[in-house]
Amino acid sequence: MMREKMPLSQRAKIFLPFEAVRGLRQALKAKEFEVEAVSKGKLSEDEARGISSLLSSLEGGEVLEAKYFQDGHYYFAEGKGKLLYDDGILIVGELKIALKDLFGLRILSR
């Protein structure tokens, strides 16, 4: 008597709980993140002037898109903006971005 073969999708589910080395997947992702890190670039004078101009025009409550640098990577944030000039911080949504790490800024709506 010949047994019916189990579908591959079912077979894969059987072995999912068994990870050969615990934490390997997370360690590989962390290493990949580290390897992909880049050096912090430098803004041109025109880029810095453009960002400075936009920052000075903020009244509070505008929806912003900000490009910033953190831990060797560039990221984008979007949300309501608030400038804390004396602290050197731009708040975008719930995120606090140091002005020295700001690499781009757009006002999406006022």
Under the phi-then-psi rule, with left for phi > 0, alpha for psi from -120 to 50, and beta for the rest, what region is 106?
beta
Determine the pLDDT at residue 1.
Answer: 60
In this prediction the pTM is 0.71
Determine the pLDDT at residue 16.
Answer: 61
Q: Which two tokens stand for residue 77?
A: 């944030």
Determine the pLDDT at residue 20.
Answer: 67
Which helix (H) or strand (E) element contains residue 51?
helix 45-57
Determine the pLDDT at residue 99.
Answer: 96
Domains and CATH numbers, the chain: 45-109 (2.30.30.520)
Rounded mean pLDDT for each run of 10 residues along the chain, 110 residues in total = 71 64 80 84 94 92 95 95 94 96 94
| β-bridge partners, 105 | 66
Determine the pLDDT at residue 89.
Answer: 96
Which helix (H) or strand (E) element contains residue 109?
strand 102-109
